[in-house]
Structure 1
């Protein structure tokens, strides 16, 4: 982002935050009408603006630091956590207040049409509406507090059984554990991380794969957890790929050589973890004399680094081969993989994190990220080609998770049983 763009962004953030502060203050002001004494009302008003105006200024200062450093660190994450918690809480409150404003304007219009300007007055806000708005707004507030303190470590195992007509018989029941988006630079509670690692180990899958974004920016971020993650083992090996954050593109480097050295170290970190890093290539997984092809590409993302070379990864594979692809960004599946004449049976991705915020119930499934990624979490299928999008192991920018919990995926491959058998 250039300097002018940064200034415009900061002004927009400050104005939007101030607007929300002002709108919610209308509810606070309405509820303080009953307070005795003007001084008490002034104390409430001054306290409100000192707190929420201060948060708006803190946010602007935080973004200035991010622009200067070129990265988001643990300290700047705190301000982003506070801002997102306050913003979502305020937006819920504003929905009620805005609805009331529509009703008040309709009432005012009808009154004016009936009585004209004589004795006309704009309807005042109703205290009970302001009270409900603030009470309901406590639901997202509490959810975000939980998400920041506990939710980001609330690891969940998601299991999928996927059936294929042409799966080699030896691989019927073959299991794969997948994790993605560790974002190691965001973690500070290594005991909580170990709980997620233990869950992955406990699955005792045949194969383990990691689908990118080992770090936020720098290879050294994984150093404190190398010994923890290297304990994940599988009989048929551990394989990994790169994500968009692994290239060091989102941080300022003193020299081009420093960035290149970091990237070399990052690739070596995979080796230290015991992961075979696949860089636009494929390997053969053999079981009982039969084989499947495991492919891995460098990052390819619509709107992100599009470096991965699918054709190179498919080299020396036949259309009849059963193929599993590791590709960090699910947009790659939409744009290239599912259209390729050389069929890839299953693609495993991550990247979206489910935006770390949303609702997933048997009835409702929603996250803001769905407006950017049609396939943002879980299983998708088209013409017998499957995509699974992992919700991510870690977190970034917003150091919390609300409704979209960190995930360990277990995929079981099964051979379709013919109806004639």
Structure 2
């Protein structure tokens, strides 16, 4: 039994004792894998340009790049078109194909791909993607995509009217790409591995290093900054994988999240976490609304009007300006999320106005939270 095997067994015993202790004390706890990941172990984005064929007259039509792409593909298949031939492929659409190449993916494995139209195609439903190389950021081909699209939607048109359910210009091909190249990872290089903390938090990084040192031994892990923890690891690949598996299951006490308010102006959504607090403040909020209506008026010539008199159509505009008064409302200090919600509901503001109120509270020092606009 070597040194690292004994340390891993000791870590397993320490893990069981730590879990029991945390359960008994009913403290908020988690695992290292919940707050950190091994640096260098990540997915890679792939993208490619291709053609979808077999559409029912819903393709790009007379798009220049679609016709040229189809001509180039036919030439690769040994079919040469006469000079001056114009191709209008109504059953073909130009598309972009995207995929995520997971870490440790090996040649021969399959991954899902997403296909999106880049031309004027009305629908990709029923189409088949022909072989498309997927390239990484370095320009190398890492996968080949091909297959029948799955479109979660339907549409019909007749007589100038159309009905569409869901989105028809984007779909997926499950297991539609075959991996051709492996992306090297630095997992087995050097005498140490690096854990990346998902949030920029010095306390979490310190707790991760402390949990590893308690389970394995002092000096095994060192927190370099708020996001990086360096851990000494065995060089043998089998022992290193088992070592990392043991580390990921070590329990740690999770710290409270940062107070944050997230606002999405496109949907009007406002989300507050449980750490948001309010200090005493007074708020006055009013709305200014301007309404403009226009109605056509027809002026006809009177009877026996001279020749050349015509009917004239004029527009009558009605402009109304309304300003709602905003009373001064006192907001009491609160440390609970439910109290913060009740205090904001008293203002009677819609989600769009709520962002302005929260920004003003933040500027006045009454809102103890970070504002994030998506």
Query: With structure 2 as the length reference, what TM-score do the two structures score?
Result: 0.21
The structure in which a higher percent of residues are strand is 2
* Larger relative contact order (Cα-Cα within 8 Å, sequence gap ≥ 6): 1
The structure in which a higher percent of residues are helix is 1
